[in-house]
């Protein structure tokens, strides 16, 4: 990646659970030669427990405050990186405003259809505390539809918005690199 302005920034990937923030983020980081950080994985390391256990033992409010604090710490370090947020991170407190007002941050929303999110999340819902209890695929679809409706206004504030459904991982990385130039 030749563009030096881009080399100094933190590229923040946002979007609903299952939209591909981590998989695309890793590929993008590789293509740009900068580190990839997953905020959930970072929190698990700091807290020395899984996200599900944090929700279970400390509760969601603790989790929301902690994810915002850890995010601001990472941004304060001003190290270039690709940073994948949790699905809810930009939707609480003033996180989205913080991201948008930070001159070193570029926000990218990976937009994905409710149908595709339902398919993906149904396979792996056990590890995700917000949806682990949902019993049927229809109920999961309904949950995601409503939840995404509530969260979309936050996601849509991102500087770059990309539809991911019909694109391969490779195409998405290329699209992002193109959008960053």
Q: Residue numbers of the site for ligand S3P (CB under 6 A)? A: 17, 21, 40, 51, 86-88, 128-130
Minimum CB–partner distance for residue 181 and ligand S3P (Å): 27
Residue of minimal Cβ distance to ligand S3P: 86
| Identity of the residue, 21 or 96, whose beta carbon is nearer to ligand S3P in the bound complex | 21
Tokens 């209890």 -> residue: 133
User: Burial of 177 by CB count in 10 Å (0-12 exposed, 13-18 middle, 19+ buried)?
Assistant: middle
Copy the structure tokens of residue 98: 């913080």
8 Å CB contact between 129 and 148 = no
| Identity of the residue, 7 or 132, whose beta carbon is nearer to ligand S3P in the bound complex | 132
Minimum CB–partner distance for residue 91 and ligand S3P (Å): 7
Minimum CB–partner distance for residue 151 and ligand S3P (Å): 8
Minimum CB–partner distance for residue 67 and ligand S3P (Å): 7
Copy the structure tokens of residue 35: 């580190």
Between CA 82 and CA 60 the distance in angstroms is 25
């Amino acid at each position: 990646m030749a563009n030096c302005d881009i080399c100094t920034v933190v590229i923040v990937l946002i979007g609903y659970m299952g939209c591909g923030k981590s998989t695309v983020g890793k590929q993008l980081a590789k293509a740009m030669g900068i580190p990839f950080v997953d905020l959930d994985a970072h929190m698990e390391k700091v807290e020395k427990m899984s996200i599900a256990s944090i929700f279970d033992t400390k509760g969601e409010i603790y989790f929301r405050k902690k994810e915002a604090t850890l995010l601001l710490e990472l941004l304060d370090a001003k190290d270039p990186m690709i940073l994948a947020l949790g699905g809810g991170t930009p939707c609480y407190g003033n996180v989205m405003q913080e991201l948008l007002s930070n001159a070193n941050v570029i926000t990218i929303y990976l937009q994905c259809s409710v149908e595709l999110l339902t398919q993906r999340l149904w396979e792996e819902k056990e590890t995700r505390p917000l949806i682990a209890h949902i019993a049927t695929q229809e109920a999961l679809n309904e949950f995601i539809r409503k939840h995404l409706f509530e969260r979309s206004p936050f996601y849509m504030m991102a500087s770059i918005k990309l539809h991911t459904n019909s694109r391969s991982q490779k195409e998405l990385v290329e699209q992002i690199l193109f959008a960053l130039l």
